[in-house]
Amino acid sequence: MANVKYDTSGSAYLTKIIDTLLNQFPGWGDEEVVFSFVEEESGVGWFPVSGAIIESEKKTICGEVKQKCQYPFFVLYRMGKSSESTRISVKEKLDMLGAWLEQQEVIITGEKYRLKSYPDTGDRKIKSIRRTTPAYNSQTYDNGIYDWVVYITVQYENNYFE
């Protein structure tokens, strides 16, 4: 089994970037996406899957280190008892979030939106953000609460000198 390496300082840094970016999505309205927490009956939270993982690393003879990394996470939208149309709306909202993060154009209440660029992350350059699943109902509780999720991965490069 291969040894998994983590970009621990990148995890801390990207957590802040992702939190800000998720809360800039124009489809939330008054909702706030909270890091690693969601209320018992409703709310929106996002949760890292593993932290930032180093997929590959190359070192040059000059001491430059070039890493390709990823930061997988998921967004969970919890909602109480609801109609079918409300559940469909939540699924569509999470799918639009994914499309927006992928820099696709989305239409929200008749307005067109596109994320033009990813935030400046200093040494760590975001190359892409992509959905790894469509939005889906991950859990339905006995009390009628629904959890909808979409899994997303940030691909980035980290280059530095030793």
Q: Please state the domain count of the chain.
A: 1
- Spatial separation of the C-alpha atoms in residues 61 and 75, rounded to whole Å: 41
Alpha carbon of residue 27 to chain centroid: 15
Residue 127, domain CATH: 3.30.2000.30
Return the amino acid letter for 142. Answer: D
Give the confidence band of 3 by pLDDT, cuts at 50, 70, 90.
confident
Mean of pLDDT over the chain: 94
pTM of the model: 0.93
Q: State pLDDT tens for residues 57-100.
A: 999 999 999 999 999 999 999 999 889 999 999 999 999 999 99
Tokens 């690693």, residue?
36
Domain containing residue 141: 5-161
